[in-house]
Amino acid sequence: MNDKFEYKVAIYRESMLGSLFLGGSKVDPLKFTEFLNRNGQEGWEVMTMERESRRMLLFFEREAFLVIMKRKM
């Protein structure tokens, strides 16, 4: 029972261009899935995630996810 873990905190968000042209930017589910699968292939397991809207340039909002992952060392 001496398992050791390392942790990774990542912020996933779409590019700023969608926010500038559309007034807001939502996370693309397919790209987010690719991001999660890429990390999963490296052994990372999502522990928790939180969705947030980040304001930028006073008028625009961009959706983002704060993702906390762990893997065995």
pLDDT digits (tens, 9 = 90+) for 4-41: 999 999 999 876 654 444 445 678 889 899 999 999 99
Q: What is the CATH number of the domain that holds 41?
A: 3.30.70.60
pLDDT score for 23: 46
Print the domain residue range for 10.
5-72
- Asked if residues 28 and 14 have their Cβ atoms less than 8 Å apart, the reply is yes
pLDDT score for 25: 63
Taking the model in full, what pTM does it have? 0.76
Look at residue 55 and tell me whether its pLDDT is greater than 60: yes
pLDDT score for 68: 98
Number of compact structural domains in the chain: 1
- The SS3 call for residue 29 is helix
Look at residue 62 and tell me whether its pLDDT is greater than 90: no
